[in-house]
Each structure stands twice: as structure tokens, then as C-alpha cells.
């Protein structure tokens, strides 16, 4: 089994953090191997950012995403750049506040309004944690407890409470993502 996830967006959206936490959570399952890589432009904010995860039941022999099973697009540019790397039977996860997709019949499109929900929480920067919560339901390769533990390891104590609240919102949204 080889399962590939690409999470893409813009600098400042917390894409890399989302990928790192998800990878840590999946890695806590002793039956799965996961490799997480990232790529970002030289700009500190607003440039292209991507976090890739390759998950396998055997040691990962090649750490790059070839054809994603899941593409998370948190910007229009990310959608346009990486849609071609999504498998024909793959799942496209978009933030509809930021992405207007062209649809192809052979892919599944799930909308997670992470930015709108984060704005309602009072901090747009929480959109990545909302997307993380939603991805748990969509990908179904890590437990909620594993993600909470990975979150605690990855963020400062100062931000943990609001990140946990956003994660919970994302878990609720994930179940409803269509």
C-alpha cells in the first residue's frame, strides 16, 4: 500500500506545520511508515508552499509524491499548479473561500471552509488546524488522539488552546465535507 497526500497553499497559511503534525500522527501507528517533505519559495509570506506525505505499510523507498491520492489546495495557485498531479480517482480537498475549482467527473471534491470557520474563531491563521481536523475524517489514517499528541509536540503552549479549539472545529467540519 502506498498512499500519497499533497497539501499546498501560500506562505503564512501554516501548510508545513499542518503536514508535519499529520505526518507525526500517522507515524504513531506502528503498522505504517510515513515520510514528509516540504517545499516553499523564498518569500516569507504569500509564496508557494507545499507539504507532501508518502504513507506505506512498508518502508518508503521514494519520498516524493508521484501521483497524489489526496490533494489539499488552500489557494487558487496551488489548485492550478498541482491538479495534474492528482490521480484520476483521487480526492481534491479545497477551501471554497480561496479556491474555485474546475471539476472533473472522475475525482471526488470535498469542500472544507477552513478560512471562513477560522475567521469566525477570530483568527484566520487557524485555518490550517481546521483543515487538519477535517483531513482526519477524509484520510482516515490517524486517530484523533494521535493528532492531539502530535499537536502538543509541535506548537507552543501559548498557542495550544486555540489550535485545539480549531482542530475540534475541523473534526466537526470534516464529517460534513461534501
| Alpha carbon distance 85, 76 (integer Å) | 15
Task: Look at residues 137, 167, 138 and name the one whose alpha carbon lies nearest to residue 150.
Answer: 167
| Alpha carbon distance 78, 81 (integer Å) | 5
Task: Look at residues 148, 146, 145, 143 and name the one whose alpha carbon lies nearest to residue 165.
Answer: 148
| Alpha carbon distance 41, 142 (integer Å) | 29
Asked if residue 160 has pLDDT above 70, the reply is yes
pLDDT in tens, 91-131: 999 999 999 887 666 888 999 999 999 999 999 999 999 99
Cβ atoms within 10 Å, residue 35: 18
What integer pLDDT is reported at residue 175 of this predicted model? 64
Task: Please give the model's pTM, rounded to 2 decimal places.
Answer: 0.91
pLDDT in tens, 133-146: 999 989 989 999 99
| Alpha carbon distance 124, 86 (integer Å) | 27
What integer pLDDT is reported at residue 173 of this predicted model? 84
Q: CA angle at residue 30 from 139 to 57, to 5 degrees?
A: 60
Q: What is the mean pLDDT of the chain?
A: 91
> Which domains are seen in the chain, by residue range?
2-176 (3.40.920.10)
Asked if residue 75 has pLDDT above 90, the reply is yes
> 128 or 46, which is more confident?
128
Amino acid at each position: 500500500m502506498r498512499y500519497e497526500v499533497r497539501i499546498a497553499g501560500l506562505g503564512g497559511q501554516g501548510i508545513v506545520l499542518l503536514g508535519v503534525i499529520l505526518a507525526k500522527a500517522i507515524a504513531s501507528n506502528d503498522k505504517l511508515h510515513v515520510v514528509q517533505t516540504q517545499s516553499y519559495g523564498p518569500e516569507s509570506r504569500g509564496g508557494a508552499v507545499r507539504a507532501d506525505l508518502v504513507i506505506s505499510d512498508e518502508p518508503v523507498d521514494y519520498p516524493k509524491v508521484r501521483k497524489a491520492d489526496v490533494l489539499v489546495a488552500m489557494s487558487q495557485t496551488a489548485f492550478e499548479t498541482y491538479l495534474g498531479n492528482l490521480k484520476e480517482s483521487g480526492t481534491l480537498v479545497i477551501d471554497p473561500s480561496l479556491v474555485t475549482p474546475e471539476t472533473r467527473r472522475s475525482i471526488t471534491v470535498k469542500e472544507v471552509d477552513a478560512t471562513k470557520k477560522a475567521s469566525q474563531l477570530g483568527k484566520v491563521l487557524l485555518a490550517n488546524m481546521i483543515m487538519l481536523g477535517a483531513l482526519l475524517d477524509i484520510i482516515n489514517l490517524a486517530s484523533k488522539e494521535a493528532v492531539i499528541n502530535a499537536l502538543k509536540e509541535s506548537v507552543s503552549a501559548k498557542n495550544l488552546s486555540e489550535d485545539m479549539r480549531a482542530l475540534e472545529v475541523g473534526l466537526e467540519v470534516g464529517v460534513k465535507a461534501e
